[in-house]
Structure 1
Amino acid sequence: MRSNEYLIELRDVCVYFTERVGLLGKRITKALDHVNLKVSDGDVIAVVGESGAGKTTMGRVILGLQKPTSGVALFRGKDIYSLRGRDFEEFRRSVQWVPQDPYSSLDPSLTIGEQLMAPIRKWNPKIDASARAQELLRLVGLIPPSFYMNKYPHQLSGGQRQRIAIARSLASNPKLIIADEPVTMIDSSLRIGFINTFIDLMRVVNLSLIFITHDIALARILLLKSGKGRVVILKDGRIVEEGDINEIISNPKDEYTKILINAAPDLKKWLKAYEKQ
């Protein structure tokens, strides 16, 4: 494929942070180190690694929030950090984010309806913002949607707030959602329900998804349910393995991947729960 046929492409991306040590010394942290990644329309990619592996930094690079130290991040073949005018507007509309902590990303002074209608009015000014907001609430399983429109974030549970965050990410009709540990703060009994929500959304609105997680078992459930996609294993800012989740779990090539698999005590429990659904 040519570069402009990829939705997102990372080419040899490095993100290095320099910090002072003592009076004269300095230390370089390699958050991302020569990372290459291609994301096509409709792709499902699970990015797996421990805390500090570089997962969130990768997401920030793709979102246009962290300029690479070297290498290039492309949207439809164009450098994300050189986009201007209509090209930048199209990128900003097309790539959206679902945060790990929805409470900190929602404005406590605005109702849910107001927070959903604002981006709808920006990106789709000709449509009925209230009707579209309620449609989005219905899509993420908050029914009846009218019940939630006048609620404030503090009046909702953690799971409900996370569904609001997902609905808000859909308000611009994006091509790609980056979900950064979106179920970490949710009770484990509800996590498969959220996986189902993401899968249903991809089928309904034809999304690409980058799902960031430290849990390889959760990544496997996501990819099994979606019936497509691949896993990317990230360690110390480098991709150590990439490919089919079943093949990698059955025959891991890197020692770090083996550690992640052995550190997933809930793997069998997740798989049993999946088989029952």
Structure 2
Amino acid sequence: MSVRYLLMLNQATLLSLMILFLGSHSFADTEIFSKEKIESHKENVKKSNVENLFHRYSRLISSSTVDGSANCDDYKRFPGSILGQWDSAPKSLFFHNWKYRQETYEMLFATKADLAESIYSIALHTKDLDSTVSLSRFKRGAQGFHYSISQVVSWANSFARIPQKSHFAGSERFLSLLIEEKIVIRFSERFRAFGKVSHIIGAAPGIRRSLEKNLNHERWHVTWDHDVLFKNFYISKWCALSESEKESITKSFTGYNQDFESQIIEEWAVKQNEKNPIP
């Protein structure tokens, strides 16, 4: 599955850091619990220090998170959140019914700083972000991300064991929101996936890249995970390139692990399609 970020490495130049964690394609080990089991474990959930932090997330959630013209069924079909203060909330983007929308939890952030704060811990956990990259540096350029639900569950269980989280306040709010939205639940002292969401993506507007473009980019990464024909087409194109061509493309992705070829291939494929309408 994949994760990626756009990272501005300096003030003047926007460089992409869309980091892929690529393994065999798999969905979360989703468990649907009975009402009785859920009720019996409510107290365990309430005891979670992470869940009790949900109220801190209120400063990020605008009144535009819920569209007054939308009903509950709309939000079942379009899982996600619109976060922050907007002059005009991007509801048309949020409610776009692309192919994998119903299984993708989408988070639209008003600022890239809030996005970066939310995912900083999970980026370090997956080792997609080097530990030498500070949060302040990451906040200057992070514009998008994509995680599989299995990655989120793995991170949540690791994060819950960290005794001091003061420097990960944004990540606490991120996890608290996912608990509140029942994307993950705590069961038998472990976080588990809950429901049909198999991807979590997020996007924010950048200086030179629009929210629409960044969100479309992340949606193409979800498509990469699901569409075997799309993936195989670009893998074949990559294999047909000369070594010098591959080297040139690899070097163009400055913020990436240059030895992680599968990551480079995916980013190269998505980059060529990010301006195209998502199927």
Fold shared by both chains (TM-score > 0.5): no
Name the structure with the higher strand share. 1
Query: TM-score if structure 1 supplies the norm length?
Result: 0.25
